[in-house]
Every structure is written in structure tokens, then in C-alpha cells.
Amino acid sequence: TVTRKDNGVIGPKTDPDGNGNPTTPAYPSKDTTPVTITPGNNDTQVANATTTTDVVTFTITVQNTGNRTDTVTITNSQQDFPTGTVVKIYEVNPDGSKGPEITKSKPLAPNDNQDIYVEVTFPAGSAPTSPDKTPTVTVTITSQNDPTKTDITKDLITLPKVSFGDPTPTPGGDP
């Protein structure tokens, strides 16, 4: 008797199970003005935006850990981003360029991987909805063979802090 097993994992670039093994070095985003993305060992990646950053594109790896071919549905949710933020998921072309926008993986054989891009667009110089929160995109995969099998990874963007007014005193003025 063959027992069918359907399951998949999603995680930072080249680390689909998100445990930090293999260690993925920091890498530049694929944007016009790239920022450095640092994968962690807790199924997360962090990008530090500058005041001119308005797009960050993360690379994420999906893997079929089941024992038969499966396609996974890919969804996302966003928390603590400024108004106007848009998240899109794209296929990665063989040459590394951005392919079409997708909502599911290609059919993945057992142990097969697929890289995807998660593109986050937000107003340049914007702040998170709360100063003590880090804006986060949670990407979820769901097996089409067995919808009870899901996995998530998180992409975080540290937005620059905003100062109001002029924090430096003017000579001769009130400190």
C-alpha cells in the first residue's frame, strides 16, 4: 500500500522550510533602487527601506514536500503598512527576470522547488501605521491536493522613522 502524502513549505530565498539551513546570505532586491534583504532562521526576511524606497521585491522559495505532484495556491495578507500599499506575487522567469503575476505555483513534483517574487509597493518616505510595529506581508501556500496542508512565511519591511518639525534648535531661538 502506498500512502499518499501532500504537503508543501514556503520560506525565504533558497530556504523553503524557513529554518535557516542552508543559511541564505543577505541579497539585493530586484528593484530599480535595490535594498538589502536579510533572511532569518525563523521563516522571515527583513528589508530596510530608505526614505526614497517605494518598492521592495522579496525572493521566496516554495517546495513540494509531499510524495506526489502538487500545485499550491499562493495568497498574502499585509499588516501595518501605510495606506496605498499594494502586494503582488510574480513567477520568476528562467533568466531571473519577473514573469507574470500568479496566484498558484507551477505543478511541483515531489521535492521540486519554485522561486517566486513578492513585490511590495508603498508610498516613498511613508511610515508604518503604528511606530512600534514593523509592516509585514504574510505569504501563505495551500496544497490543492489537500487544502488542510498550509504553510506561511513573513516578509518584513523596516520603514524609516519620521521626525515631525525641526528637531535641531535654531541659534538664538528656543532650544
Cα distances (Å, whole numbers) of residue 151 to 18, 72, 139: 10, 10, 8
Per-residue model confidence as pLDDT tens digits over 89-121: 999 999 999 999 999 999 999 999 999 999 999
Evaluate whether 156 touches 44 at the Cβ level (below 8 Å).
yes
Residue with cell 535557516: 20
Which distant-in-sequence residues (6+ apart) come within 8 Å of 48 by Cβ? Answer: 35, 36, 157, 158
Per-residue model confidence as pLDDT tens digits over 128-167: 888 888 999 999 999 999 999 999 999 999 987 654 444 4
Of all helices (H) and strands (E), which one includes residue 36? Answer: strand 36-39
Which distant-in-sequence residues (6+ apart) come within 8 Å of 123 by Cβ? Answer: 54, 82, 83, 84, 85
pTM: 0.88
Give the CA-trace dihedral at 83, 89, 94, 96, to 10 degrees.
Answer: 20
Lowest-confidence region among 9-23, 30-44, 94-108, 159-173: 159-173
